């Protein structure tokens, strides 16, 4: 009785440098259980490839134009195995060490590649999820906040500068990011997004609403125990007593 051959690990290589992609492909060729199914030169291509091909593993460069590796990580989610590939970056390396996520530090040789691949095999076998949000947050220098919010719909990615956002509302396991009167859904909690935004600019005015204070035109009472925030476009949002106190502190 014969045993069916194990399915190879299907991997995507993401790096804006062709030489680096070639090196990973050559090292991978020395391992029978890995198949490179796509190579991507930027983050948008990577999101599309992961969405379309559903790989097991991504070799993901950090320093890339358009979308960096941490933004790609956020968009592809925790269910894909990741080995980060990076030049020396103190914040990134510290994040990888804290969350026990493997990485390849450029330049690396075939032995180090083999070690990272062995670690990836183990994680995939144990079905360990990549702690995407925690790794990305840990890699951000202290005191810095999001400059843009990424919204993914299938393979399509929309990039919203935070200054264009009017407010954000809780939608169960999602948030609704409202900009220019249009709401876009993002799979994230309101509390997570709040921690990533500048508190001098975005204020939690209610358990379900986060307001860009630049959009506020008037704040007043709604009932004896509640308040209302009126935005420049006329939108009215509920304000809790705690939210009212936060706004008064800031304004």
CB 177 within 8 A of CB 134: no
Binned average pLDDT, 10 residues per bin, the chain of 251 residues: 67 96 97 96 95 96 90 90 87 79 91 94 90 79 87 90 97 95 93 93 97 95 86 96 90 78
State the pLDDT at residue 94: 81
Delineate the domains of the chain, giving CATH numbers in brackets. 9-139 (3.40.50.2300), 160-250 (2.40.50.1020)
Cα 71 from Cα 149, distance rounded (Å): 9
State the pLDDT at residue 5: 56
Q: What is the dihedral of CA 96, 107, 116, 101, to 10 degrees?
A: 10
State the pLDDT at residue 27: 97
State the pLDDT at residue 4: 45
State the pLDDT at residue 250: 84
Owner of token pair 């030049």? 87
State the pLDDT at residue 51: 94
């Amino acid at each position: 009785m014969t045993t069916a051959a194990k399915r190879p690990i299907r991997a995507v290589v993401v790096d804006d440098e062709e030489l680096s992609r070639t090196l990973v492909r050559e090292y991978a060729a020395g391992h029978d259980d890995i198949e490179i199914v796509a190579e991507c030169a930027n983050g948008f291509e990577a999101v599309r490839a992961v969405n379309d091909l559903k790989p097991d593993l991504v070799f993901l460069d950090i320093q890339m134009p358009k979308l960096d590796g941490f933004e790609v990580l956020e968009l592809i989610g925790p269910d894909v195995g990741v080995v980060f590939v990076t030049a020396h970056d103190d914040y990134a390396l510290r994040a990888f060490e804290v969350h026990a996520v493997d990485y390849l530090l450029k330049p690396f040789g075939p032995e180090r590649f083999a070690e990272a691949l062995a670690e990836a095999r183990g994680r995939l076998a144990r079905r360990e999820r990549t702690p995407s949000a925690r790794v990305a947050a840990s890699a951000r220098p202290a005191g810095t906040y999001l400059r843009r919010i990424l919204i993914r719909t299938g393979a399509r990615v929309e990039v919203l500068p935070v200054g264009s956002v009017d407010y954000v509302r809780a939608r169960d396991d999602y948030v609704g990011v409202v900009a220019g009167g249009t709401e876009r859904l993002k799979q994230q909690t309101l509390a997570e997004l709040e921690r990533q935004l500048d508190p001098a600019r975005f204020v939690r005015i209610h358990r379900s609403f986060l307001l860009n204070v630049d959009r506020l035109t008037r704040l007043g009472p709604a009932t004896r125990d509640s308040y209302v925030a009126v935005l420049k476009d006329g939108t009215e949002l509920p304000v809790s007593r705690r939210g009212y106190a936060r706004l008064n502190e800031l304004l």
